[in-house]
Structure 1
């Protein structure tokens, strides 16, 4: 890079080679002057207040690249499905945004490989975060003002090889079945509180309850309710109760009898250790533990959006959720603006 240094007092008529940042603590942080701005007499005092006693004129070689062009190349490679980016870099940085409502997904190994390349960076929200259209989900920049073009090409190739490193998966609108097990509820000895809680969670994610049944702790009757829900076209089953280890807890046996496959019982999350996930054909089945009655946020709040986004939750995922899977039971719950369920 060839660089000509000009005292700021002599810079009138010079075009700036990069954005010049201004920071006023508690008030403002951003570009006071944009790249390409032609300095005029009135700018000199402002530039001096920003500590700019010299300005620079750059002449790039063919194998060199400016931070703004580099950021655009990186953003284009990093953005996967349903992620868009600002066309104009700001201070060498480009923000990536969600193009649709849905579940934000990160290829974490690819992210690490990208960030191992010198002189580039990429920061994202956590994998599994629910986002709305227009939300910022990530940002990238080339760290120096000018760098070798080969560095940018290497970093962009890593991202492009994976079809982008970040994406947003829309949530499908499920026709859900709620099967509430428990002889005490079925016989009216206690009032059911599960159905209203689960209906609220489903509706918040754009799904609806199409089938509701109360059944006693009896394998055949639970199996029958499952089969009836499937016949009626439900494409998501939430089955509550009977997930513990008491002899009367037969829900798992009923799910198996109904033909479920890929059954995984237990997760490395608290609350929610006794969660069950399975499939009957292509229909996801979620066995909801009793903790969902007593805690505002549980494993269900982590798993349900992923299922609606088309993920098949497997044993490995349930194990990896242990990192960040301990709810702190804060007196004032801040979920989803907290680390719970965001370790993987």
Structure 2
């Protein structure tokens, strides 16, 4: 149960929660920690923080405090590949990646958990590449006090499937690049695509092991894709030549290389002319030229899926 008393009458009482101080453009942090015994000299400070009244806390066996609830919730939410502190800060606990990998969120768990109303968990998007130590999620009880039964229900939901938030390690895959375009092949312009693709692939633990150049000739493009496959790559990425101009023949080159299960076109911008296919066990990804100019494209959405273990 909660009741309030004027701050002037709270000297000697114990704070049941952290009191936060926010100074615009300077700081946000704890001014008084939970458990602090209020002193006479604290009164004016607390008033400046907008605390004219102080909660006096008396819990029943059916109620749970935000700090205890945060520990219960995070223990259930956290799956493999994550880490978190033992105690909350300002009532919440952040979950961090234990190593570089791919964030996976059990979205049905998360939806049911957050729909309970008085508990919350905020996460990065599912399928996001993350670095060791990066905050990927955080949880807390929304009110200071809640029903213990509610938290137990949230705990059960969060712990389903071994936890709601996990980071999985990605296997190191060997990638072949086929950089297309007569302007690059003949040295009229410097290729910029390779550097962009290397950076994206290395973020997911993969290594570019083979790079081929091809002019706007579907037979040569197809031959270079085959050369990459013969070199033992797990995936081939082609760059450019996916549009509707007469010289955009990369898609035809992919087909001549023997690609099957080809899907051309996506409802995503930038990247509407993206292509996926297969040659044997090797994934073929046809990336339109937008991948060189835009920081985020359809390629960034689908690449994590192709970086996982073979499906």
Identify the residue that residue 95 of structure 1 maps to in structure 2. 94
Q: CA RMSD in A?
A: 3.1
Give, in angstroms, the shift of residue 264 of structure 1. Answer: 2.1
Aligned pairs for 1:309-320 (under 5 A) are 309-310=308-309
Summarize the alignment of residues 50-65 of structure 1 with structure 2, pairs less than 5 Å apart. Answer: 50-65=49-64
Whole-angstrom CA distance in 1 between matches of 2:91 and 2:240: 54
2:175 corresponds to which residue?
A: 176
Residues 85 and 261 of structure 1, relative CA distance in 2, 3 Å threshold = farther
Partner of 1:121: 120
Aligned counterparts, 1:201-280, within 5 A: 201-203=200-202, 206-216=205-215, 221-245=220-244, 251-256=250-255, 258-280=257-279
Residue 46 to residue 209, structure 1, CA distance change in 2 (3 Å) = same
Shift of the 214–6 alpha-carbon distance from structure 1 to 2, 3 Å rule, reads closer
CA contact (8 A) 2:128 2:304 kept: no
Deviation at 1:149, TM superposition (A): 1.0
Structure 2: which 5+ runs fail to align? none
User: Would you say how many aligned residue pairs link Structure 1 and Structure 2?
Assistant: 310
Normalising by structure 1, we get a TM-score of: 0.76
Asked if 2 retains the 8 angstrom alpha-carbon contact of 1:4 and 1:58, the reply is yes
Query: Aligned equivalents of 1:98 and 1:255: distance in 2?
Result: 37
Aligned to 2:43: 44
- SS of the residue corresponding to residue 225 of structure 2 reads helix
**Native 8 Å contact 1:75 1:140 kept in 2:** yes
The alpha-carbon distance between structure 1 residues 311 and 65, as it changes in their structure 2 partners (threshold 3 A), is: farther
CA deviations 1:61-96 (Å, max 9, x no partner) are 222111111111112222233222232112222222
Q: Which runs of 5+ in 1 are unaligned?
A: 313-344
TM-score by length of 2: 0.83
